[in-house]
Copies of this chain bind each other. A is one copy, B any other.
Amino acid sequence: MKDLILAGRKAERSVIEVNGVTIGGNEIILMGGPCAVESSLQMSRSAETVKEAGGKILRGGVFKPRTSPYSFQGLGLEGVNYLVQAAKEQGLLCVTEVIDARSLDLVIDKVDIIQIGARNMQNFELLKIVGRIDKPVILKRGLSATVEEWLLAAEYILSAGNSQVILCERGIRTYEPSTRNTLDLSAVGVAKELSHLPVIVDPSHAAGRRDLISSLSKAAVAAGSDGLLIETHPNPAEATSDGPQSLTPEQFIQLAQELGAVAASVKRSFTYGRHQPDTIESLRAQIDSVDQTILKKLADRMQIVRKLGDQKRLDHVKDSNRQKEIVQRLVNLATELELPAELVKKIYPLIFEFGVQSQIKNRLAQEKELDRTIYPLGSK
């Protein structure tokens, strides 16, 4: 695509740093909050939920582009203040959508990130305006935009001088009626193939129903998304807009708890939970968790050692050379890990010893069992 002069693929992927949060790096960035800012209390609670979950950025619309002129159009400036205040209380960044020059002016000095909505993806005049600011811009894909058109919309912003563009896939319009739009996760890969810009995913607007958000969020991360923009509301049933697609606080937190494993499975990271200063209690809880893993691994080891024993002659279950070799390797590894080598030298002989005992017991038990099978009536 010849016109992707600035948005086109480069040797290195772009990483956008904004007030301590890195978008496009290894960490999956979770952004959450309600569709529309409604009140101070609603935003405080939303911010608590996002923080609790390990989210970094609070979202909330104050200028709402609504299909009908008679739908709630957003709280405007008052809403921005609620958003900003709630984010501040929890140490979160915040993002809101702008819809024209005036709305941008009202929020530019208050929020950390600016969003361009799907309906404005080809509002080229607006793109040029946000191209002249010095804040990151989340650019949502238009409802029926091709990936190429989306990247060319990004090019408008980049070519106007703002290099901090974050692409956001949010579902495209298709014939399928069971979801509001059809989330196009292929677009994540295609956009990353064609461009160096970070790509995040908004499963909420795509699905339009909260029961799919968890599975689609995980799928988005597995597909290579750099972040998630998810709607959550303290009380979805009373949301002024998009209630049916908003997660409850509990669902949002539940999803976040499950997200770290998915991120890790594709070599990305996401850490659930408030990143509070460590307390004695929390550190002890961490130790307990580590100890559990150590024991599980010791049990696994013992089981493999038993299988190994099955394959060797009984008088060969102990193999001193192999043990020496293991200890030597582990001592080297311990040094690398800044673990006292002495600890390894002291505990591994114990581990070997119990392993050998276990092999022997196991073999004897098997032989007994064999005897019983051959001489079932105990006539031996």
Contact = CB atoms under 8 A, between A and B. Distances in A.
Contact of A222 (B66, B219, B358): B219
Interface string A259-282: 001101110000000000011100
A125 B66 CA distance: 11
Interface in A332-369: 333-334, 337-340, 342-344, 346-347, 350-351, 354, 357-358
B304 A290 contact: yes
Contact of A189 (B146, B176, B212): B212
A203 to B, nearest CB: 9
Interface in A163-213: 172-179, 182-190, 193, 206-207, 211-212
Contacts of A357: 340
Interface stretch (A36-44, A52-60, A306-314): A306-314
Grouping DSSP codes into helix (H, G, I), strand (E, B) and loop, the A interface class, with mixed when no group exceeds half, is helix
Contacts of A189: 211-212, 215-216
Interface in A53-112: 65-71, 99-100, 102-103
A358 B311 CA distance: 41
Interface stretch (A23-31, A151-159, A237-245): A151-159
Task: Please give the count of copies of this chain that the complex contains.
Answer: 4
A162 to B, nearest CB: 12
Interface stretch (A9-17, A115-123, A228-236, A371-379): A115-123
Interface stretch (A132-140, A246-254, A295-303): A295-303
Contact of A174 (B175, B206, B340): B175
A144 B125 contact: no
Contacts of A188: 215
Contact of A290 (B152, B184, B300, B354): B300
A166 to B, nearest CB: 18
A207 B187 CA distance: 10
Nearest to A129: B100
A178 B148 CA distance: 8
Nearest to A339: B299
A215 B206 contact: no
A193 B222 contact: no
Contacts of A301: 287, 290-291, 294
B297 A297 contact: yes
Given A143-B144, A175-B173, A305 B287 contact: yes
Contacts of A299: 334, 337-339
A286 B312 CA distance: 17
Contact of A344 (B65, B206, B295, B300): B295
A182 B182 contact: yes
Given A283-B307, A290-B301, A294-B294, 11 more contacts: A3-B70, A119-B124, A144-B173, A146-B178, A190-B212, A218-B266, A261-B264, A280-B311, A291-B301, A298-B339, A343-B351
18 contacts: A65-B124, A69-B159, A70-B155, A119-B122, A146-B176, A172-B176, A265-B265, A284-B308, A287-B301, A290-B297, A290-B300, A291-B329, A295-B333, A298-B334, A299-B338, A302-B339, A340-B357, A347-B351
Q: List the 5 closest pairs (A to B, CB-CB), nearest first.
A: A144-B144, A219-B223, A299-B337, A222-B222, A261-B265
Interface of A: 3, 5, 65-71, 99-100, 102-103, 119-120, 122-126, 143-144, 146-149, 152, 155-156, 159-160, 172-179, 182-190, 193, 206-207, 211-212, 215-216, 218-224, 258, 261-262, 264-266, 278-280, 283-284, 286-288, 290-302, 304-305, 307-308, 311-312, 322, 326, 329-330, 333-334, 337-340, 342-344, 346-347, 350-351, 354, 357-358
